[in-house]
Amino acid sequence: MLTLRPVGQNDYNVREGGQTIGRIRYASERTTGIWLWNIQVHVTTGLPMGSAKDLETAKAEFKTAWEALKVRVGP
């Protein structure tokens, strides 16, 4: 199960099984603020990242990308 651990205002580490696997944060420095997310694990191929209009969408997109990555490279 994916969980969020706050590390600042509108800034979260994404964790699974006690390990940090990524980050979701609100990029207020952008002209129009957006939620940025990225997966942060060591693999030999490119890692997914993206942006979303709100936190709920960012969480859903992160989860989809994480599940697809686990299928591709293994647990």
Phi-psi group of 50: left, alpha or beta (phi > 0 → left; psi -120 to 50 → alpha; rest → beta)? beta
pLDDT in tens, 42-71: 776 778 889 999 999 999 999 999 999 888
pLDDT-based confidence at residue 75 (cuts at 50, 70, 90): low
The span from the CA of 21 to the CA of 30, in Å, is 24
Task: Give the pair of three-digit tokens for residue 57.
Answer: 């969408």
* CB 23, CB 59: distance < 8 Å: no
The span from the CA of 67 to the CA of 10, in Å, is 23
Q: Record the pTM.
A: 0.65
